[in-house]
Amino acid sequence: MKKLIRSLASLPRRQKQIVLVMMDICALPIMMWLAYAIRLARPNVQIMQGLETWYIYVAVFGIGAFILLGVYSAIVRSFNEDYLLRISIGTFIQIVALYTIKKLNIAFIPMSIPLMYGFMLFSYMWWSRALIRYLTLKTFALKQGRRRVAIYGAGLAGQQIAAALKRSDNYLPVCFIDDKRSLQGQSLSGLKIYGPQRAQQKLGKFGIEEVLLAMPSVGRARKKAIIDTFDTSDVKIMELPGVTQLVDGQVQVSDIREVDIIDLLGRDPVPPKPELLEKNIKYKVVMVTGAGGSIGSELCRQIVKHQPKMLVLFEMSEFALYSIDRELQTSGVQIIPVLGSVTNQVKLERILKQYSVQTVYHAAAYKHVPLVEANPFEGIYNTSIGTQRSVDAAVAQGVETFVLISTDKAVRPTNVMGASKRMAELYCQGLASTNPTTQISIVRFGNVLGSSGSVVPLFKKQIAQGGPVTVTHPEVTRYFMTIPEAAQLVIQAGAMGIGGDVFLLDMGEAIKIKDLAKQMIRLSGFKAVDEQGNGDIEIQFTGLRDGEKLYEELLINQNNVSTTKHERIFKSFEAYYSVNEIRAVFDELKSLSLSGSDTQRVRNILISYVEGYMSKASHIE
């Protein structure tokens, strides 16, 4: 039987239609005979007396009506409301035709026959297609081993994806899960609806491998709470994209994706303030240094949305510059790609002057703590000296706004990367104290999810390889934010600056990296190995790397903080040095970095000027 079904299903589309037509040609006259036999209570009856070849007329007219209505052009496996409507209209046409024949005395037809025939015809068409669909899906589901799925959310999106999954070759919807008590215990689209607690007990019993979140309009906080309810379950969590991505209102199997790790933040983004986003961008010439990096490239994506007159991309990596330039060429904004280093002040000034740049977002910096720790002179030269030359160039060319992108690692750093960033901040603060025509601001924030320095891509790769997932320390914690949210807040913070400001982005609650690893393992459908050795993927602790801290901070002085007109942006008032003093220090750092000697002197400078800097013996040696 299965072999027959598979052979029929593998036929070309035209041949499948011919099989259905032949099947109906035989069935329609039988339906007419059955109506007469039931009506007259005997099998040997004269049908449509006066019309000798009645069976030909019944078959040809019936098939013709269904062909015109597109019944045979529809795919049986997509058996839905539209298909039933076509069958209903075709049946109604044939009932009317029978009453017309009776009225014109073409043949003898008892008054009840058309309705009886119509009922049996509709039933036959419905049940025959349903049976074909059921047998086909069942046969191919057994062949391909469809994944058993529970759908969380019995709303419109849930119903649409359930219908799509039933037609798919890869997924088999088993049940719905929904919080609404009024729905629990009921059935929808042939699937029973369970409450979250009840569903937990059924996951193993039903062999469910994945839970699909079909709530495209739910916020991150609610989504995280739902994900946490499956903490002890060995199921993979999948989701549908947000409502803005499902613009056509039709949910498809291709819309299913893995849960974005962003949702584990459990924090909904605050809508940006348009006036702040546009203040330093709209109708202005903007330049982004480090334009090919994680933050720099996202800044560029956000900037082109707000109608700049021109966007200059300044980047030292040829491939990174090529990638972001190519991506933005279709934005409708004039894009100028410039290959160069921020340590080249002469070139910076020439580019700023040539294109009359009005706003600079300085994102160029090294960010990998262990690499900078192993190459301290390069880190200081690129990050500290590079920032000095960038802001000096901006001031020399009369740029209106200069925004330094900083990091939480600049606060009481234990590594050269953080210390070099704090030195860059100090130079910007010192220069801003001279009241130049350029408005200089600093924006400090923590880790961004998915950046080149983030643990997320590494964890994904390790999970895909079956583990182990490596974490430096059980207690290490970090602040996280999405790249788009960070870029938007950077732009808005820069718009609020008046000179020398240090803005802090609200990063929410700190997250243990160990917990992040466990959540990513669980979302992938696996279980982290516990203390008893039970589980799928092991988490290994490798020890803190040189210069790495257990906890990151955003504030040097917890007391000198004020709010701003944006609820996610704060302003910090921090000590700094005069521009003459800090410039002299930078001249010495430049000489030391170029010579690559006297590591002890470099360490002493950082200890003297970077508050809270704690070096280890392994640093700068």
State yes or no: is 279 an active-site residue.
Answer: no
| Three-state SS at 103 | helix
Q: Find all residues with CB under 8 Å of 559, minimum gap 6, and list them.
A: none
Which of 141, 160, 183 terminates a domain? The answer is 141
Listed residue (560, 544, 563, 541) closest to 552, CA to CA: 544
What is the DSSP-derived secondary structure letter of residue 269?
P
| Residue 185 counted as domain residue | yes
The pLDDT assigned to 531 comes to 77
Cα–Cα distance measured from residue 351 to residue 579, given in angstroms and rounded to the nearest whole number: 25
The answer to whether residues 9 and 140 touch, using CB atoms and an 8 Å cutoff, is yes
Mean pLDDT for the stretch of residues 311-317:
96
How many distinct structural domains can be found in the chain?
Answer: 3
| Residue 547 counted as domain residue | no
| pLDDT above 70 for 454 | no
Is residue 191 domain-shared with residue 67, that is, in the same domain? no
Greatest mean pLDDT among 108-112, 475-479, 577-581: 577-581
Q: Which of 223, 236, 367, 409 is catalytic?
A: 409
Listed residue (580, 581, 591) closest to 380, CA to CA: 591
pLDDT tens across 140-194, in order?
555 456 788 899 988 888 888 888 887 777 788 889 999 888 888 888 878 899 9
Quickly list DSSP for 218-275: --HHHHHHHHHTTTTS--EEEE---TTT-TTS---GGG-EEPPGGGGG--PPPPP-HH
Listed residue (461, 459, 462, 376) closest to 419, CA to CA: 376
Is residue 315 domain-shared with residue 372, that is, in the same domain? yes
Q: Indicate which CATH number applies to the domain containing 224.
A: 3.40.50.720
The pLDDT assigned to 262 comes to 63
| Residue 513 counted as domain residue | no
Residue 66's pLDDT band (boundaries 50, 70, 90)? confident
| Least confident span in 15-19, 133-137, 256-260, 304-308 | 256-260
Mean pLDDT for the stretch of residues 89-97:
91
Which of 85, 113, 141 terminates a domain? The answer is 141
Listed residue (517, 525, 436, 454) closest to 233, CA to CA: 525
Is residue 377 domain-shared with residue 413, that is, in the same domain? yes
Tell me the residue ranges of DSSP E strands in 118-245: 147-152, 171-177, 187-188, 191-194, 210-213, 236-239
Is residue 132 domain-shared with residue 149, that is, in the same domain? no
Cα–Cα distance measured from residue 482 to residue 561, given in angstroms and rounded to the nearest whole number: 24
Q: What tokens does 527 get?
A: 């279980």
| Residue 525 counted as domain residue | no
The answer to whether residues 72 and 21 touch, using CB atoms and an 8 Å cutoff, is yes
| Residue 201 counted as domain residue | yes
Q: Which residue type, as a one-letter code, is found at position 150?
A: A
Residue 506's pLDDT band (boundaries 50, 70, 90)? confident
Is residue 173 domain-shared with residue 105, that is, in the same domain? no
Which of 112, 141, 170 terminates a domain? The answer is 141
Q: How many residues does the chain have?
A: 621
Per the prediction, the chain carries an average pLDDT of 83
Query: What are the distances in angstroms from CA 509 to CA 265, 477, 552?
Result: 8, 10, 12
| Residue 617 counted as domain residue | no
| Three-state SS at 614 | coil
Cα–Cα distance measured from residue 155 to residue 177, given in angstroms and rounded to the nearest whole number: 10
Residue 311: phi and psi, rounded to 5, are -125, 120
**Counts for the chain of helices (H) and strands (E), in that order:** 21, 22
Share of the chain above pLDDT 70, in %: 85
The answer to whether residues 451 and 480 touch, using CB atoms and an 8 Å cutoff, is no
Residue 92's pLDDT band (boundaries 50, 70, 90)? very high
| Three-state SS at 211 | strand
pLDDT tens across 342-399, in order?
999 999 999 999 999 999 999 999 988 888 888 989 999 999 999 999 999 999 999 9
The answer to whether residues 111 and 98 touch, using CB atoms and an 8 Å cutoff, is no
Domain housing 190: 145-259
| Residue 543 counted as domain residue | no
Is residue 202 domain-shared with residue 351, that is, in the same domain? no
Is residue 376 domain-shared with residue 498, that is, in the same domain? yes
Is residue 304 domain-shared with residue 410, that is, in the same domain? yes
The pLDDT assigned to 264 comes to 63
Burial classification of residue 440, based on how many CB atoms lie within 10 Å of its CB (0-12 exposed, 13-18 middle, 19 or more buried): buried
Is residue 173 domain-shared with residue 95, that is, in the same domain? no
The pLDDT assigned to 512 comes to 83
Listed residue (391, 389, 367) closest to 379, CA to CA: 367
The pLDDT assigned to 523 comes to 74
Is residue 204 domain-shared with residue 76, that is, in the same domain? no
Is residue 443 domain-shared with residue 492, that is, in the same domain? yes
pLDDT tens across 185-239, in order?
888 878 899 988 888 887 877 888 888 888 877 777 788 888 888 877 778 888 8
Listed residue (463, 429, 477) closest to 540, CA to CA: 463
The pLDDT assigned to 547 comes to 60
Mean pLDDT for the stretch of residues 470-481:
81
Cα–Cα distance measured from residue 305 to residue 479, given in angstroms and rounded to the nearest whole number: 27
pTM listed for this prediction:
0.64
Cα–Cα distance measured from residue 271 to residue 268, given in angstroms and rounded to the nearest whole number: 9
| Residue 519 counted as domain residue | no
Is residue 237 domain-shared with residue 288, that is, in the same domain? no
The pLDDT assigned to 77 comes to 57
Helix (H) or strand (E) holding 98: helix 81-103
